[in-house]
Amino acid sequence: MSTRARQKPAASELKQERAIRTRALILDAAARAFADKGYPATTILDVAELMGATKGAVYFHFANKNALAAAVTEEFYARLRADAQQVQEQGLAPATAVRELLTRTGAMFRDDQVIRAGARLQIERSLIDADLPVPFVGYTETVTGLLRAAGAEGALPAGSDPEVLGRVLVSAFFGAQHMSWVMNDRADMAERVEEILATVLPGGAAA
C-alpha cells in the first residue's frame, strides 16, 4: 500500500472532525442569536457573523433557519436529558435528587446559551416550520419518576400524589424561569427555584 493510500483515511478523519467542529460552532452561534433576538428577528447572516464565517458555511450544514432552530432545540433537549442522567447516577435519595435536578436546571437556564435559546424557541414554536418535540414531557416524566420513588420511601408530604406533584412542580419551575427571564434575565433563578421547592415540597426534598 502506498504512502498516499495510507494517508487517505487520516485526511478523511480530519475533514470529518473539522465538519463536526464547524457544526458545533454554528449551533453555538445560532443559540446565542436565538436567545438574544428570538427566532423571527434572527437571520442566517447574524449566525454567520457571530461565528466569523460566511453564510455559505452555515448553509453547507443547515438548509435554512428552520433547520437551525430544530437543531438547537434538539441540543436543548439532549442537554436536559444528559444533566438529568448525571443527577440520577449520583446515587442520591430520590427526594434529594429532585432538589438537585431543579437546582442544576435552573443554573442551566441562567448560564447555558443553548438552554436559553431552546426555551425561547419553544415559546416561538408556532413561527418555526419544523417538527419540534412537545415541550415538558420528558422533564415531567423524569421528575415524576423521582417523586414516585420518594413517595415509596415516605419522603413526600402526607397524601401527596406523585403524578400531580410532578406536574405542579414542573409547571411552577418553567413558569418561574419564564418570569425570571422577562423580569431580570434570570439573574434570580436560583432564588426562584428555592422558593418553588420550599413551597411545593416543604421538607420533602431537603438535601
Domain residues for 98? 3-200
Q: Tell me if 207 is assigned to some domain.
A: no
Task: Note whether 121 and 72 are within 8 A (CB).
Answer: yes
Which is more confidently placed, 117 or 20?
117
Percent of the chain with pLDDT over 90: 86
Average pLDDT, the chain: 92
Q: Tell me if 165 is assigned to some domain.
A: yes
Q: 53-88: per-residue pLDDT in tens?
A: 999 999 999 999 999 999 999 999 999 999 999 999
Q: Tell me if 40 is assigned to some domain.
A: yes
Query: Would you place residue 94 in the very low, low, confident or very high pLDDT band (cuts 50, 70, 90)?
Result: very high
* CATH number, residue 153: 1.10.357.10
Q: 95-105: per-residue pLDDT in tens?
A: 999 999 999 99
Does the pTM exceed 0.75? yes
Q: Tell me if 19 is assigned to some domain.
A: yes
Q: Tell me if 90 is assigned to some domain.
A: yes
Q: Tell me if 205 is assigned to some domain.
A: no
Res. 174: pLDDT tops 80: yes
Alpha carbon distance 46, 57 (integer Å)? 13
Which is more confidently placed, 2 or 128?
128
Q: Tell me if 76 is assigned to some domain.
A: yes
Q: Tell me if 146 is assigned to some domain.
A: yes
Query: Would you place residue 40 in the very low, low, confident or very high pLDDT band (cuts 50, 70, 90)?
Result: very high
Domain count of the fold of the chain: 1
Res. 139: pLDDT tops 80: yes
Res. 207: pLDDT tops 80: no
